[in-house]
Amino acid sequence: MLSALCENARMDRRALLGLAPVLTVAAAAAATPAAAGGGGGGGGGNQQSYLRLPTITANVRRPGGGTGVMTVETGVDTPDAALRTRVAQSAPRLRAAYNTVLQQAAAQMLPGAPPDLERLVAQLQAATNQAVGRPGARLLIGTVMVI
């Protein structure tokens, strides 16, 4: 009887694994702005003013001499429509500037020490202003992780 229960559990797991691609496509479709209704609703503010950038990474020294990775999720909020266009056009320059700032910050970190987030945010905001050409685009930080 126990073997029959184990066999049924395996069959159920296989059935769920077979549905995984379908569920992934359904979740992706539900996450698109067109499927979500495109605004109104509750919370989050104006989604159009936010530009999410790819996660940036840099190598850090770990205690004991090993190498770790520091990752930072970034985005830029720009309420001004004209500046928002400039930010979107400057996205490659923003990514390059953020990578440079993060690599410098990671090189200055002591092994095992946490990152100085206030300093990092100030440096990333300065890089944002420089890459865009003027202030007005606000840097937003997501998860900062050192592993």
What is the pTM for the complete model shown? 0.68
Query: What's residue 35's pLDDT?
Result: 37
pLDDT, tens digit, 9 for 90 and up, residues 74-131 = 999 999 999 999 999 999 999 999 999 999 999 999 998 999 999 999 999 999 999 9
Q: How confident is the model at residue 30 (pLDDT cuts 50, 70, 90)?
A: very low
Q: How far apart are CA 72 and CA 121, in angstroms?
A: 11
Residue 103: burial class (beta carbons within 10 Å; 0-12, 13-18, 19+): middle
The answer on pLDDT for 18 being more than 70 is: no
57, two tokens: 């990474």
Query: What's residue 47's pLDDT?
Result: 65
Inter-CA distances, 115 with 5, 49, 56, 70, 106, Å: 50, 28, 14, 9, 8
